[in-house]
A and B are shown apart, each in its own frame.
Chain A
Amino acid sequence: MSLNILPIVRKEFRQIKRDKRVLAVMLFIPALMLFLFGYALNFDIKHTATAVYDEDNSRSSRDFIDHFFRNEYFDYTLRLQSKSEMDGILDGGQVKVVLVIPSRFSAHLENGKEAAVQVIIDGSNSNTGSMLLGYINMIIQQYSVNITAETSIAHGNHLLAMPIDYQPRVWYNPELKSAKFLVPGLIAFILMVTAVISTALAVVREREMGTIEQLMVSPVKPLQLILGKTIPYTVISLAATVMILVLGYILFDVSIKGSVLLLALVTIIFLVGALGMGLLISTIAETQQVAFMIAVITTMLPTFILSGFVFPIRNMPWFIQMVTYLIPARYFLVALRAIVLKGVGLGAFWEQLVFMGLFAAAVLAVSSARLKKIIS
């Protein structure tokens, strides 16, 4: 008797069509998450509210302040009149930075002495704090260089060339926009969550309804069943991927720099692993509720926190870093960012594919073995 997977695939699509919720979850939630993460998860620091207490109030202090705010990072929001106003100004959160110029600022500069400037930063958010610190360092150093140059000319010396000419260029994401970094991560996150949940539920539903028993006594082979059940969800997940890429292009100007074909290949390898994980969960959980819980717990937080989607893995303590090797999205992300943002070829990230392939093979082996045991 010739047997194919078509009847199962067709049936699965019909069930998805009937239960509009599944389709909504698989297509609407990714779009929603793209909006939320793309707009809300913004690490760009611009127009930081800054208070200034200028005790010196001289021409040079005003010149310095003018220089300090000649960029988009800091906004001159508040001018403090007395030292007492400084107390508690950061507590309220109206400003994140306080710039204090002591009274002897201009006098010290004129005498060729070192002039002190105090900057107080709200460090309660360590990420923004350290980024602000970096910007301030850059601004003040630039200003120091300018003054040194001016004074040396004023003293009749030749303009000294700086020993190192610093010419920064940012590659791949020149405007340093968070969205560009996040969109590939979001694809990994969304695919992981939706693919695992939908496959886990699809198989557990058969167990819950008892229909799996009928399949067990039919000539359907476990492999046929697995393929027949996962192919429809792979197709929908790929559709969701295309949708995120299109939305990412329209909303956040993220275009695919590399090969679309390569992107498709990497995505499919990743999806195979995710679907395998969904199957594995379906062999553990007895009810759809339990399957949903396990799927959410094992995909959502780990992918969000441990894949490098938002938080850099290299900053994690070593034992957490070890755990990240078990998160398939970690490898997918590196490959995705390489293709979408850098436009590089397979040579730059082939190891990631190897790891993803290993993960997929391992979960599929375990889940098929377990499924076979359940079926027979």
Chain B
Amino acid sequence: MFGSFRAVDNISFSVRRGEVFGFLGPNGAGKSTTIRMLCGLLSPTSGSATVAGYDITDNPDAVKENIGYMSQRFSLYEDLTVDQNINFYGGIYGLEGARLKERKEWAIVMAGLKGKEKMLARALSGGWKQRLALGCSILHEPPIVFLDEPTGGVDPVSRRKFWELIYELSSHGTTVFVTTHYMDEAEHCNTIGFIYNGKLVALGSPTELKHRLDRYTVYEVHCSDPVEAMEILRQQPWTVETSIFGSAFHISVDSSDREQFMIKQTLAQNKIDVTQIEKIVPSLEDVFLHLIDAEDGK
């Protein structure tokens, strides 16, 4: 894609109509490149993709007419009012007359901006801006909407409200393709694609992905020296992986009936006090850290 560097390499997936597809991965994993290709902004060097029934290489203009796009930067004109922003975005998508009026009304109600139509966009708070930007990007009622880290830098209450909007869109048949860093948001998706180093390393529903760790048991361990403890446990043949979680750490081990005893014993031998050890249901974060470790180990 960029010179000799492959930002995205051989990824393949399909998204069902009306589902919320979460696209996850660390920064630089290739999320933005994929979204840019799907929006018709970049052409893949090889391979193909179809968005809303149109080929992104052969027919990018048709793709652009059938998608909505919103990014973390909330592309609003800050020096225009709420009303003028909606008029402009409606205008460039060819909305006019009664339809524009109707969609404007919808967007204002949806964003909770009733009575604030004459306010400048720059005067709006983050949550409002975000909802207005979403409204502006789907005025033309596209069957598919791409949201590139839409909740970055927004407070938790606004984030929750925003996800309610996403569900509403999805329930009306709009396909939502969303990238995020937040694991709690990932849990809300129907399907998750996890991308790492330009490769799609996992694809499935959150529950399906968690079952990937079924062969292992995950423990949360509180102890006197978690960093040292992780170092020691990593040497053990039965340890799959360890990762720090706040003041504790998570450890995945091959399932057997003696694993808890083995962890405690190993740490005791090294004079590390275990204050608490608990078997936990693996979180998506555990799954992804596991996938990354597996990928790096290749």
Contacts and interface: CB of A to CB of B under 8 A. Distances in A.
A150 to B, nearest CB: 79
Contact of B69 (A2, A15, A217): A217
Contacts of B67: 217
Contacts of A220: 92
B88 A11 contact: yes
Contact of A214 (B69, B80, B94): B69
B40 interface: yes
B283 interface: no
A1 B79 CA distance: 28
Interface in B58-80: 61, 64-65, 67, 69-71, 73, 75-80
Contact of B65 (A7, A18, A219): A219
A11 B76 CA distance: 12
A218 interface: yes
B87 interface: yes
Given A1-B65, A14-B84, A376-B41, A214 B75 contact: yes
A154 interface: no
Interface in A176-222: 209-211, 213-220
Nearest to A224: B92
Contacts of B69: 214, 217
A210 B73 contact: yes
Contact of A211 (B42, B61, B77, B84): B77
Nearest to A216: B41
A8 B84 CA distance: 11
B71 A210 contact: yes
Q: Classify the secondary structure of A's interface with B.
A: helix
A219 B80 contact: no
A10 interface: yes
A19 interface: yes
Contacts of A10: 87-88, 91
Nearest to B85: A11
Contacts of A14: 80, 84
Contacts of B136: 214
Contacts of B169: none
Contacts of B39: 217
B93 interface: yes
Q: Classify the secondary structure of B's interface with A.
A: mixed
A376 B84 contact: no
A3 B92 contact: yes
B93 A6 contact: no
A7 B96 CA distance: 10
Interface string B86-108: 01111111100000000000000
B77 A217 contact: no
A209 B92 contact: no
Contacts of A217: 39-41, 64, 67, 69, 146
A219 B75 contact: no
B151 interface: no
B191 interface: no
A215 B92 contact: yes
B55 to A, nearest CB: 16
B130 interface: no
B92 A213 contact: no
Nearest to B35: A217
A218 B64 contact: yes
Query: Most chain-B CB neighbours within 10 Å: which of A1, A14, A210, A219?
Result: A219
Nearest to A213: B75
Nearest to B65: A219
A6 B137 CA distance: 19
Given A15-B80, A376-B42, A219 B73 contact: no
B137 A11 contact: no
B159 to A, nearest CB: 20
B75 A209 contact: yes
Contacts of A15: 77, 79-80
Given A217-B41, A376-B41, A211 B76 contact: yes
B10 to A, nearest CB: 23
Given A1-B65, A14-B84, A376-B42, A218 B93 contact: yes
Contacts of B61: 219
Contact of B92 (A7, A210, A376): A7
Interface in B192-246: none
Contacts of A19: 79
Given A213-B75, A214-B75, A8 B92 contact: yes
Contacts of B41: 216-217, 376
Contacts of B75: 209-211, 213-214
Nearest to B67: A217
A8 B41 CA distance: 21
Given A15-B77, A15-B79, A7 B87 contact: yes
A211 B80 CA distance: 12
Interface in A344-367: none
Query: Most chain-B CB neighbours within 10 Å: which of A2, A7, A18, A216?
Result: A7
Interface of A: 1-3, 6-8, 10-11, 14-15, 18-19, 209-211, 213-220, 376
Closest 8 A-B residue pairs measured CB to CB?
Answer: A7-B91, A214-B75, A210-B73, A217-B69, A11-B88, A1-B94, A211-B75, A219-B64
Interface of B: 39-42, 61, 64-65, 67, 69-71, 73, 75-80, 84, 87-94, 136-137, 146
20 contacts: A1-B93, A2-B94, A3-B94, A7-B87, A8-B88, A8-B91, A10-B88, A15-B79, A18-B79, A18-B80, A209-B73, A210-B75, A211-B77, A213-B71, A213-B73, A215-B92, A217-B40, A219-B65, A219-B92, A220-B92
